[in-house]
């Protein structure tokens, strides 16, 4: 609704003549719950019913709108129509929160899929961080028996041990074990 109760009363009293003394000051405050066009007279607090009703969509009561001369409680669509800016802001915030939640969920799912598996090292089977500590000692012993890490000469002439799962090399077996526990479990 583009006009208020007061504006409708003032417009109803303006006849456009210079001698217009019947202008109304606004809507009657005692009749806010009604949709009957009752307006304040110009020089006192007397209210006068103008024989018509306020326009459809005019606010009435605590949370209603005038339709067909009677005050009806606001429906959701009527509330949206009366509070369009607030509704758009709330809908935008809700959409933004849903989008953030979806992006966060996709990133979390992606992290779980990209975590390397510890398959292929004898004595190791998944188990996450908690199981990796328990399996580290048994995995170390079994890997020494079953598959020996390849030792190659580094640039400084010292022997290095290559990780069997990635192209990294380490100066000693303890460094390799830490790498396997941290990066491949």
pLDDT digits (tens, 9 = 90+) for 150-168: 444 444 446 788 888 888 8
Q: How many domains does the chain have?
A: 2
Domain boundary among 85, 108, 143: 85
Query: Do 134 and 68 belong to one domain?
Result: no
Within-domain flag for 91: no
Which pair of structure tokens corresponds to residue 150?
Answer: 């390849």
Report yes or no on 100 lying in a domain: no
Distances (CA, A) of 106 to 92, 96, 100, 103, 115: 21, 15, 10, 5, 14
Distance between CA atoms of residues 99 and 119, nearest Å: 36
**Residue 179: pLDDT above 80?**
yes
Are 77 and 9 part of one and the same domain? yes
- Which of the listed ranges 10-24, 33-47, 105-119, 134-148 does the model predict with the highest average pLDDT? 33-47
| Mean local confidence (pLDDT), 17-42 | 79
Q: Is 109 part of any domain? A: no
> Is 96 part of any domain?
no
Q: Do 24 and 77 fall within a single domain? A: yes
- The whole domain housing 176 covers 128-183
Residues 94-131 have pLDDT tens digits of: 999 999 999 988 888 777 655 555 555 555 544 444 44
Given a cut of 70, whether residue 148 has pLDDT beyond it is no
> Of the residues 54, 70, 85, which one is the last residue of a structural domain?
85
| Domain's final residue, options 23, 54, 85 | 85
Residue 25 CA to residue 28 CA, distance in Å, equals 9
pTM: 0.38
Q: What is the pLDDT of residue 152?
A: 46
Q: Would you state the pLDDT for residue 101?
A: 92
pLDDT of residue 99: 94
pLDDT in tens, 60-103: 888 788 888 888 876 777 777 778 898 899 999 999 999 999 99
Residues 77 and 135 in one domain: no
The verdict on 9 and 76 lying in the same domain is yes
């Amino acid at each position: 609704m583009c006009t208020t109760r007061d504006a409708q009363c003032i417009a109803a009293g303006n006849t456009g003549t210079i001698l217009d003394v019947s202008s109304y000051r606004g809507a009657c405050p005692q009749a806010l719950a009604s949709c009957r066009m009752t307006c304040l007279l110009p020089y006192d607090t007397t209210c006068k019913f103008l024989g018509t009703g306020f326009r459809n969509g005019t606010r009435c009561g605590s949370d209603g709108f005038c339709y067909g001369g009677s005050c009806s409680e606001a429906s959701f669509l009527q509330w949206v129509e009366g509070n369009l800016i607030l509704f758009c802001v709330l809908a935008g915030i809700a959409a933004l929160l849903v989008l953030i939640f979806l992006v966060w969920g996709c990133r979390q799912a992606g992290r779980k899929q990209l975590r390397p598996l510890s398959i292929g090292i004898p004595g190791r089977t998944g188990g996450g961080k908690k199981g990796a500590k328990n399996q580290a000692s048994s995995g170390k012993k079994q890997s020494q028996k079953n598959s020996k890490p390849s030792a190659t000469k580094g640039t400084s002439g010292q022997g290095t041990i290559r990780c069997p799962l990635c192209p990294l090399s380490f100066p000693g077996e303890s460094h390799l074990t830490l790498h396997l526990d941290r990066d491949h479990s």
